[in-house]
Amino acid sequence: MNKCFLLLSAAAAVLFTGCSTINMIEKSVKNSTVSYSKAIAAPYLNGKMTLDGELRESNWKKAGFFDDFVPFRTKKMPDSKTEVRVFHDGEYLYIGMKCYDKREDTRPVDKGNLWAGDCIELFLGGMNPEPSVYQFCWGSGTHRYASNGKWEHKSKIFDDYWTTEMRLKLSMIQPNLVDSSLKFHIARLIPKYKTYVVWQNVGNDFQNIPRYPELILGSYDTAAQLKFHYYSDKKLSRAEYEKLSAERSVPAEKIIYGPWLYAASETEMNIGWFNYGRTGSTLYYRKKGETKFKAVRSWDRNNSWDRDQRLHKVQLKGLAKGTVYEYKIENVNGTYSPAVTFPQDGSLYTFTTHGKKDLTIGVFTDVHNEGYGLKPLLDNKKLMDSCDILVNVGDMISNSTGIRSIFHGYLDAQLSFASKKPILNFRGNHEYAGCSPNTFFDVFGTPDFRGYSINRFGDVCIIGLDVWNSKQREWLKKAVKTPEFQTAKHRIMFAHFPTLSPRSGYARTILNVMNGIFTGKAPSERLDLLVSGHIHRGYFAPANSDIAVTIDGKKKHSTANVPFAMFINEGMRFTYDNCMTIVEAKGDSLVVKLIRKDGSVSKEYKIK
């Protein structure tokens, strides 16, 4: 490995990682949450190196240097000074140390308990792309410990100090090399004082990766350019780089996206949010007017709490109908770290569970990553205030290529609504496309959501189907026998594929799922309305009717003769007009409205 390869790898990490969406709700984080972090640049140096423990080669004089250690678990700093030098040659990382102690106070360990004598503990790794850390321990003797064997050391004892040289294969830590830097923590155990000194206090847990200082392979200037897009006419010093890092680094705890409400019912709410870095997250909620909060941890599973995630979700069940709830989110970066609370201004997020018998549903389909085209509708306060929920019925993105494809594809546009009222989401065929189709479940999944669901809101029962799922027919047979369906005045189904004539392949998919279940012959087998999309053309077919349907201007179908009404939403088409549907259930009435871009009603169909 050479210098050029290392820099290109770091640059590629920037190009392919991209930048995070700025949260629309949390605009800033208090400065107190930005922890000061030390940094050291390990320059690229050529030249023959002999690992003899003596630090005599000229490269050691040109290496990055620091000696500003601090006491650990004590206020008094031992008088045994510690100096560290670091550099790399493209293939190896070199660390040289000079540890001041009289020969008689030095405790070399050649076997047995390494921590009974002089001991250096080095930790290298990072939180990205996946959390990992390597630990290396050695001292003034020959004994050593490591979580990886691709390294070597040599130490030598002198009258007033002992020195050591350590050489580590860079390929071992390459996966954690981001923006030419990685996390780096070093501690020295001094037997004379029975205490540690550390370069930076990372808390009581030496495995606390997020609190580690930074090791830069290269120069401070290169790191500043890659991490902060900062360019200077002069070379940056360590102090200047650390100041720049403190000013421009975004804390891992910061919520940069969300929260959003989803997969709700009268008594359930699911809440998701996305942090800048990997953290642990806890949501605290209560009924408005109460004083005590209930706590729910995100990623609390198998009797353990994961604190290394960016995307967080919690499920709240057993909620009271028609009730205002307040909540806040606490994010923790690593272990033994103070929690950062959101919202940061001391206020609380709120949501209200559905408590009315009536329900107004806003429907979108076939957006195909053009969420910006929805903005006039979603910014229409009167229109959005009239909607109790939004339902996305598939092909909201063109292909699934990670979380940001959903964020930028349409959730950006819907976030102002979804932060206050819930959205329901069901897949179309394009949510299956791309390299990461399960991202849909990462963002909108719940412990009991498999792509299809039944949700009750007042007099309305909503059934949502996945576009392709062999298991949902058996589930649907059971769902229609539940009280949620049987006692509902209005029964509405959302499925991406419409029920067209059986010679349409995708129509057969939905017909095969529903066949024999909604016959309409008895009240218990009645479905009032199916809302679909997919063909990018708007059609309405009353129950038990055949309506001619043109697809792509040449291929004709007809709607299947089914005992329920069907409405096909237009989706995004050129002008973004008529791309939203309103389903309004009020009293005994059920009405479908096609909405223009300006919020006015283009067409209206009365179901009952």
Q: Which stretch of DSSP H or E encloses residue 383?
A: helix 381-386
For residue 21, pLDDT over 80 is answered with: no
What pLDDT sits at residue 35?
A: 47
Comparing CA positions, the residue from 279, 343, 262, 272 lying closest to residue 313 is 272
Q: What gap in Å lies between CA 585 and CA 360, rounded to an integer?
A: 6
From the list 437, 417, 394, 404, the residue with the least C-alpha distance to 571 is 394
Helix axis angle for 220-228 and 3-17, nearest 10°, is 20
List the structure tokens of 545: 């009717």
Q: Nearest-CA neighbor of 287 among 312, 262, 330, 318?
A: 318
Give the pLDDT mean for 382-389.
Answer: 97
The tens digit of pLDDT for each residue in 565-599 reads: 999 998 876 566 778 999 999 999 999 999 988 89
The CATH number assigned to the domain holding 283 equals: 2.60.40.10
Give the C-alpha separation, 91 to 314, whole Å: 45
Tally of CB atoms within 10 A around 467? 23
- The dihedral through the CA atoms of 336, 337, 342, 347 has a sign that is positive
Percent of the chain with pLDDT over 70: 90
Residue-averaged pLDDT of the chain: 88
What order of strands is seen across the sheet that includes strand 529-532? 453-457, 460-464, 490-494, 529-532, 565-568, 539-541
Are residues 557 and 428 part of one domain? yes
Give the residue with greater pLDDT, 179 vs 554: 179
* Residue 69 and residue 157 in one domain: yes
Let me know whether 221 and 315 are in one domain.
no
Pair (220, 291) in one structural domain: no
Q: Which of the 8 DSSP states describes residue 178?
A: B
Out of 248, 270, 287, a domain closes at 248
> What is the DSSP annotation of 507-531?
HHHHHHHHTTT--SSSGGG---EEE
> Of 220, 248, 276, which residue sits at a domain end?
248
What distance in Å separates the CA atoms of residue 378 and residue 24, rounded to the nearest whole number? 14
Please determine, for residue 118, whether its predicted confidence score (pLDDT) is greater than 60. yes
| In a domain? residue 2 | no
User: Of 248, 282, 304, which marks where a domain is finished?
Assistant: 248
What's the CA gap between 526 and 4, in Å, rounded? Answer: 68
Task: Please indicate whether residue 272 or residue 9 has the higher confidence score (pLDDT).
Answer: 272
Residue 554 lies in a domain: yes
- Is 7 part of any domain? no
Q: Is residue 336 part of a domain?
A: yes
Judgement on whether residues 238 and 271 belong to the same structural domain of the protein = no
Separation of alpha carbons 158 and 54, rounded Å: 10
* Winning range, highest mean pLDDT, from 22-26, 260-264, 465-469: 260-264
Q: How confident is the model at residue 6 (pLDDT cuts 50, 70, 90)?
A: very low
Is 27 inside any structural domain?
no
At 16 the pLDDT is: 28
**Is residue 397's pLDDT more than 50?**
yes
What number is the average pLDDT over the span 123-131? 85
Winning range, highest mean pLDDT, from 35-39, 450-454, 489-493, 511-515: 489-493
Shared domain for 310 and 377, answered yes or no, is: no
Q: Which 8-state DSSP code applies to residue 559?
A: B
- In the chain, what's the furthest Cα-to-Cα distance? 99
552: pLDDT confidence band, cut at 50, 70 and 90?
low
Percent over 90 (pLDDT), the chain: 66
**How far, CA to CA in Å, does 595 sit from each of 162, 245, 378, 437, 583?**
79, 49, 12, 30, 11
- Helix (H) / strand (E) containing 265: strand 255-265
pLDDT, position 276: 92
Same-domain check for residues 148 and 267: no
Q: Are 156 and 43 contained in the same domain?
A: yes
* Kind of pairing between the strands at 39-42 and 214-217: parallel
What CATH number does the domain containing 223 carry? Answer: 2.60.40.1190
* C-alpha span between 406 and 444 (Å, rounded): 10
Q: Flag whether 330 is in a domain.
A: yes
Least confident stretch, 187-191, 380-384, 481-485, 499-503: 499-503
Tell me, yes or no, whether 145 and 285 share the same domain: no
| Number of domains the chain is built from | 3
The answer to whether residue 25 scores a pLDDT higher than 50 is no
Q: How far is CA 124 from CA 35, 127, 148, 490, in A?
A: 19, 11, 11, 60
Tell whether the model's pLDDT for residue 226 goes beyond 70.
yes
Q: Are the beta carbons of 328 and 343 closer than 8 angstroms?
A: yes
| Residue-number span of the structural domain to which 408 is assigned | 359-606
Q: How far apart are CA 248 and CA 228, in angstroms?
A: 7
Whether 194 and 99 share a structural domain: yes
Same domain, 44 and 172: yes
Per-residue pLDDT, averaged over 528-542, amounts to: 90
Please write the tens of the pLDDT for every residue from 284-331. 999 999 999 999 999 998 888 888 899 999 999 999 999 999 999 999
Q: Is residue 123 part of a domain?
A: yes
CATH number at residue 447: 3.60.21.10
CA–CA separation, 130 and 108 (whole Å): 36
Kindly state whether residue 30 falls inside one of the protein's structural domains.
no
The span from the CA of 73 to the CA of 523, in Å, is 73
Please check whether residues 348 and 372 belong to one and the same domain: no
